[in-house]
Chain A
Amino acid sequence: MFAPIEDLYRLAPELVLCTFGILVMLAEPFVPRKRSGLVAFLALLGAGAALAATRLSWAHPGTAFYGLVRVDDFSIFLHFVVGAVAVLVILGSRDYLEREGLHRGEFYALVLFATAGMGVMVSAQELVTAFIGLEISSISSYILASFRRNVPKSNESAMKYFLLGSFATSFFLYGVALVYGATGTTLLSRMDSASGNPTLLRLGLGMIFIGLAFKVASAPFQLWTPDVYEGAPTPVTALLSSGPKAAAFALLLRIFDTVFAASQLWVWAIWVSAALTMFAGNLAALVQSNVKRMLAYSSIAHAGYILVAFAARNEIGTAAVLFYLVAYALMKLGAFTMVTHLGGEGERRLEINDYAGLGSQQPAAAAFLTLYLFSLLGLPVTAGFLGKFYIFNAALKSHLVWLAVLLAINTVISAYYYLRVIVVMYMREPQKEWAATPIPRAVGLVLVLTAAGTLYLGLFPNYLMEFATQSAVLPR
């Protein structure tokens, strides 16, 4: 018995990603060391083909495989996001892997598989399928995080990531079990009509929320983030901070927008979590001296901003979440790629003070980094500004005035540590001599693409915002 061909169209992005993942694995042993670029190119082709496949499956909306997955504007939007993240990460990691002597085809295969897992997460209509998608993306990222095998710090961060990540997924799974017991189904669409047992349902949704809160690194479950982000290879950090986060947020949105009981109950939990997350991220970022750690805390803060839009619980809020996920992915990927390049061999140049004098020595690098930091801070003409504006707007529409005020306060706090890096880059004299390496072409391309995206969304947000608004209408 075969699935109807329509079902396969709806699954096209995942099929393409998995196929190319396997192809990359198969090609690896046959490609000589000197021509390792071929493997990277194959992976890049796969990620690009996944984007094309997403376009193809867009033409076939509807559910597939007995209602377990669903192609709608929402899933398509996020498929584009995670696909683009994969393209940028693969582009940006080749030179890093060569530099560190880690170049192995498995790296790209894992990136592709992880992206397939995220794709399943954003289109799943059923909790166990979503769980398996979550596991595919998580287990791949555990392996990616430990890719620097000989660096004890990296091993350790992978171990922490693995233990806490599996701990969180078992919470998620227990939540799924309780929801199943309460409603008799794990299909999201049927959960409302089922005469569920309210206590069990709430308990289950609470556990699911805890599990996903770990994944998006929101307070009080954010403690693992800085360690993992610091210890992981920087291109992997770029991936972790953008792709899986977007997918986990999408799953949360799906659950909380489709299941009425969820949205009723957890709005306060999200309110508190958003406020805590913003402060936890921003206050801790103030005292960091390591750029990677600082960016890790900043990504916690950004999870908090996204949760503010979440708490708004309306379609404007959902659209704001989607827009922000794109803007956030662009600026975080750009910033981490720049940090990867500047880190130099062995990732030694990571202290903020090491960036002193960068403005005069490597003006291009400094300019790019300044743009990303401005966008992370949310200054006008950048994507970050409009993203924050939409979140602010959504919060006010839902009368979450206090949360909007907290968001504004946090933006002011964050100005200190973002601007500090810029001040160091342009106004301090360098204490140590760093060899200025030229930016490799692929890395340059990533930088140009992310910078152009950041500016484009900052100036002309309408097209993406329309798409986001259209995608924000989730079928109940």
Chain B
Amino acid sequence: MVPISYYLVLSAILFGLGVVAFIFKRNIITIFMSIELMLNAVNLTFVAFSRALGKLDGQVFVFFVIVVAAAEAAVGLAIILLIARNQQSLNIERVNLLKL
């Protein structure tokens, strides 16, 4: 038997790695991938809790998250295509017309 907390710690680590990747990566597509990583970590949490609580709704939520992730991917990649077309660069630092 694997204690449920192992799964939760694993998902926390994956989420944290997603955050680190979001901050560190320079390529817009990779930054977007790190968001997918974070969503995956959340899914693991849902499934683990669903098992620990003996309820199924946690697994139902995972479906919804996957649908949302797919919708985000479609729109996000379309925006990335626009950027690539207009700026010829996917480096987040060269995409910098607006000052921070």
Contacts and interface: CB of A to CB of B under 8 A. Distances in A.
Contacts of A155: 79, 82-83, 86-87
A178 interface: yes
Contacts of A462: none
Interface residues of B, number: 40
B46 to A, nearest CB: 5
B52 A153 contact: no
A162 interface: yes
A469 interface: no
A185 B87 CA distance: 46
A173 interface: yes
Contacts of A335: none
Contacts of A169: 68
B67 to A, nearest CB: 8
B75 interface: yes
Contact of B35 (A150, A153, A163, A181): A163
Contacts of A152: 86-87, 97
Interface in B81-100: 82-83, 86-87, 95-98, 100
A227 interface: yes
Interface string A178-191: 10110010100000
A274 B29 CA distance: 34
B23 to A, nearest CB: 10
B94 to A, nearest CB: 10
A135 B100 contact: no
A156 B97 contact: yes
B1 interface: no
A contact patch SS: helix
Contact of A128 (B61, B72, B95): B61
Contacts, number: 103
A173 B86 CA distance: 33
Interface in B51-95: 52-53, 55, 57-58, 61, 64-65, 68, 71-72, 75-76, 79-80, 82-83, 86-87, 95
Given A170-B39, A174-B38, A162 B75 contact: yes
Contacts of A131: 64, 68
B65 A173 contact: yes
A143 B75 contact: yes
A177 B97 contact: no
B42 interface: yes
B31 to A, nearest CB: 6
B53 to A, nearest CB: 5
Interface of B: 8, 15, 18, 22, 28, 31-32, 35, 38-39, 41-42, 45-46, 48-49, 52-53, 55, 57-58, 61, 64-65, 68, 71-72, 75-76, 79-80, 82-83, 86-87, 95-98, 100
Q: Which 5 A-B pairs have the closest CB atoms?
A: A181-B49, A177-B45, A170-B38, A227-B98, A152-B86
Interface of A: 128, 131-132, 135, 139, 142-143, 146, 149-150, 152-153, 155-160, 162-163, 166-167, 169-170, 173-174, 176-178, 180-181, 184, 186, 223, 226-227, 230-231
